Amino acid sequence: MSTLYELVEWEDLGFNLPRSLPCETTKTIAEAISHIRSAGEFVVAVENGVRRPLTTAEELEFQSAYRIHMSRIRPSAA
């Protein structure tokens, strides 16, 4: 079983339903994160065509990769 990752965003229709962004499914969390442009976007895992939340290990990887990604697009003032 191969896990892929997809970038989704929350769409507020009275429910919190994830909606896919026009982004292909990626093989790594870091690849999916590289497409994030707003705080309303996040990454989910896709196994056998079915979305699922990230596992604890994947969530830790996501947080680390997200910090790196954000530091590259918004360098801190020195």
Q: Please give the model's pTM, rounded to 2 decimal places.
A: 0.73
Distances from the Cα of 61 to the Cα of 3, 8, 21, 30, angstroms: 14, 17, 21, 8
For residue 74, is pLDDT > 50? Answer: yes
**Backbone CA torsion sign across 31, 67, 70, 58:** positive
3-state secondary structure of 10: strand
Which tens digits make up the pLDDT trace of 2-52? Answer: 899 988 876 644 455 566 666 678 899 999 888 877 777 788 898 888 888
User: How does DSSP classify residue 16?
Assistant: E
